[in-house]
Amino acid sequence: MDSETYSHYTRNSVSGLLAGAIAMFIVLLGINPAVSQTPAPPQDEPIALTGATIHTVSDGVIENGTILFEDGVISEVGTDVSLPDGTRKVDYSGYHIYPGLIDSYTNLGIYEIGAVGVTVDIQEHGRINPNARAQVAFNPESRHIGVARSNGVLAAVTTPGGGLISGQPAAMMMEGWSWEEMNIKPSTGVLINWPSPGDEDEYEEELKELRDALEEARVYHRAQKAMEAGEADRHDKNARWEGMKPVLDGELPVIVNANELRQIQDAITWAEAEELDLIILGGRDAHYVANHLVRKEIPVLVTSVLSSPNRAWESYDGRYSLPAKLYEAGVDYAIAGEFSAAYTNRLPYHAGAAIAYGLPEDEAIRAVTQYPADILGFGDRVGTLESGKDATLLVTDGNPLEYETQIEQAFIYGREIDMKGAHEQFYEKYREKVRHWEMQSD
């Protein structure tokens, strides 16, 4: 076993221990006044939510509808649903039911407290790490999980960072005892941070580094096939280039983090030359090449809608209106939030701002439910409310993208989850402090 392979397997074996140790370490430091919720037990009886307005996303709105789910999976949605014996009925008349929101770009689960290095597992050593898997580093004890899901985010694509090739993001549901249990899709692609074109020489050097990495990976896999066919001598496996195999075989896309116009254009040209499926992440200038993106069928994950323009000559609403511009041009897109785990709960407000600046309301809902799931390849599990999909959904008193809307209850894979995140825990703690002070004052 070569050193890279050994490092890869060693990291996978210790990452689970690291995730379990993080909570204990933080408690020992005395900096974790709020705790993560205890995961709910698996669904053990049929559950029917009745009387609500059901927003299926894929097939319109059902007034006074019923959604039935069994063993964590939606059985039926409609107005005339036959309920099996033993079904627990919950009347949600006057409420709305939506699919759980999906944050398609976050470091949730691999970032806890910036000042405590052991709680940060975003970046591997070196610049080329296609084998680094966010899934195995995911910390199910993160207190950011409860905060995110109490605001409607029930699934997240946890994404590594740093270097030129960061690794493989993973789609995770926000409920469970372990990363294995929380997994939706172990890899949604390989993340590449496109070089900045500021310094021309440095830019070309980094592009060469990227091209060389792809060529080396291809040479490795040709050698692997020759060895398996008995046409070449045996050689050790290389974990780094094994991580590139699904991309080279067309099974997974490259997710290219690119914002500037030249970055986007060069990434498109490069991916076409390398014969790779491409997703643009960030996409700040994507509207300038919208027609090109449509022709090439390249989707865009728009990040940080709630952001200021980067150039003095741009309109103040350039980022707010970007989703609407892509929608009007016919670009496949989704709205992602901010990379920070602590701000994953703000995803609804990014989509809500897009509504205020021209994006239709139903499109904004799709942009944080159906579209990210479809673009990243796990739309068979979540994103819409239809038979056969996971019972991962929200019960609300209004549109979940509106600031004032309250999330009444959430279900993840049929589990009725604890809605009390760290924010609510802090509120109750200090409300009790005020009550105690008031009693003493009396």
- CA distances in angstroms from 317 to 270, 346, 356, listed in the order given: 31, 18, 10
Cα–Cα nearest to 336, from 263, 283, 278 = 283
Look up the pTM and report it: 0.89
Report, at the CATH architecture level, how domain 1-32+101-379 is classified.
Alpha-Beta Barrel (3.20)
User: CATH 3.20.20.140 residue ranges in the chain?
Assistant: 1-32+101-379
The torsion angles phi and psi of 438, rounded to 5 degrees, stand at -65, -40
User: What pLDDT score does 442 carry?
Assistant: 74
**In the chain, ranges of CATH 2.30.40.10 domains:** 40-99+383-442
* CATH code assigned to 40-99+383-442: 2.30.40.10
User: Would you write out the chain's pLDDT as a tens digit for each of its 442 residues?
Assistant: 444 444 443 444 444 445 455 444 444 444 444 566 789 999 999 999 999 999 999 999 999 999 999 999 999 999 999 999 999 999 999 999 999 999 999 999 999 998 888 889 999 999 999 999 999 999 999 999 999 999 999 999 999 999 999 999 999 999 999 999 999 999 999 999 999 998 999 999 999 999 999 999 999 999 988 888 888 788 788 999 999 999 999 999 999 999 999 999 999 999 999 999 999 999 999 999 999 999 999 999 999 999 998 898 999 999 999 999 999 999 999 999 899 999 999 999 999 999 999 999 999 999 999 999 999 999 999 999 999 999 999 999 999 999 999 999 999 999 999 888 778 887 888 888 888 888 888 7
